[in-house]
Structure 1
């Protein structure tokens, strides 16, 4: 265990958020340790869709979720699934979600997501440039396609809503889609192209490169589990499965697992739940698409990566304890059938499931509490990868107690005390 005299900040969580924050803090002269029971990047950061989703400024749920609730409970393969056994535990979270769909709350959520997303691409470009790995991100846009002529009205309405939020978006005809992605089926009627987005060639490799840069700055990575924590007159005392660690400050950035330690240190119970996400990796399909493509009707995304084509998406509410239903991952391949001129190969395919940390207002918590002893960076739902670099900048700002600078979002929207 590191000596308490050699640690300024302990970061709990070695996913993309925690690692990016650790690197930022180390570069600011802080002595940092990162604590996680898994190797860095082996949680949700390992298997996300790889899409830099700056266009996704709207929360996943809207008022139509009430109409979809019966299907969520009854269809185990549906794009939005609620395990009926988990319903009693999920119900309070869903009630909060519904309250946040009221117009004023919904507008606050959209403004908060948009503020982070507007700065995310630039923050990532600067971060990757600083570690001399800019090639890990392709900032060549993404595409939302539709197949049914009757979907055109809804797609047009979505384009208008996005334009109202200053999201760069272009309508592409079927001809434009075929020219850019010729392997897609002729059934595709057109789509929305988002030039301000991009995709990562390997999200896990991005974490590894950030870890290497953090190591070079003196960051230590401890493969340990934090069991409990308490505030002390001089900082924070953490108890791990390998002994105690005392630090001046702690940053809680362990995603869907953040609620327990937050409650122990702050006394605040946060309504954190997990949207379980699945992917299916197709190693023999690396060249099918030039950029990430999402299906409007089928509601999943396909991202080309160094290791193949990753099919990802779906939302499942079933908590942290229930085993994965990998049929949901294989369902992604069934959803892809008919989208291409020739069906995708599943040879060597591997399924995966991970936990997205979600709060009922779809905004993360990025905050400094308990007289500065506790920092918080979790709850980014589907946008953890997208918002990691800008979150790290904001945490660095909070540690130095700077007045928020104009290039970064206003911190007020992401405060812990909103709950």
Structure 2
């Protein structure tokens, strides 16, 4: 049987792969687990994004939790990082977010945070999954009765607490900055405009009218075209885009050019180094970071720690070594001085604060890094097994690396969720990359079926 928890919680199409019955069992199992391991009658805080199925899963989770004696506090619509923050500050046993992030509206997901604000370790997820399987098998697990049945409280004021906290991380007022904000019709639609206006910014908000089905639809950090057009039309200083659950942030400069997560990391790393706040002058990133990122960080006097793809691996490295900044090209950035997970609102404020402090244009700060052309080819294969030991593939990769020399790199890796092997190449010449990538991809296809 496949593992219930994926790389970012339990996710699937609502009422198809992810049904309220499963949400109920997850709530019951979570209350049993945290009730035994953390606190009696465990407090679990729940938030969600703007998807039409959010209320459905919120009710099912709360019912399951209360049936096992847990206490539920429902925040309503809020960014994913808000639940991490609130679980920590209110000494909850856990937090649960109902969201499928940047996925279409018909998908949804259930993601857990521990009472410390961090995502649950695999071992804890496995224990909760084991309880779910026992419930499914009809085992008579404990239920609360009489006065021990759990209660549900609605805590709209918690959103205000999170807004106050996010605002406090800016460090400067943003008077004089003209900003276009794309909320992706998602979880940031109310919070982020309020934060920016409190800080004195001139804000034009777009895609902030959620209707349950328009989350991420041709908007947000995965569809930047309308933000680019609006920034140019308004003559704005910068554009900010979040995804559906607001744990990511990408930007657009005053010329309409995209500022991706690699550029944001370089901008913020330099700003933190100048203030003496970047531990070890080190930024944590993944193997997918552009080669231009590494050159820019080195030129600025810093260094990069490299992990495998996934924000959880970035965070693990940061926690192990005490680093303060890490993230991914996708805009999932972690500032450990402020948060235990990626927070798109805090990321945006750090970028805006750097603009305000330096007095420079967004395009000038983005120019601290020059992006090299990057080409990715997905090869559908019959088997992902054994490719690393395949001599023909190894020879093709070495030949490509020799051709690129010191000005480029090649990365070949299997997909974690699909029958694909990904071939990525970076270098100064797009045509050369296409030739090298296609040559390696053809050999991968021939060897792996």
TM over 0.5: no
Give the TM-score of the pair, scaled to structure 2: 0.19
Radius of gyration: which is bigger?
2
Q: Which has the higher strand share?
A: 1
Higher RCO (CA < 8 A, seq sep 6+): 1
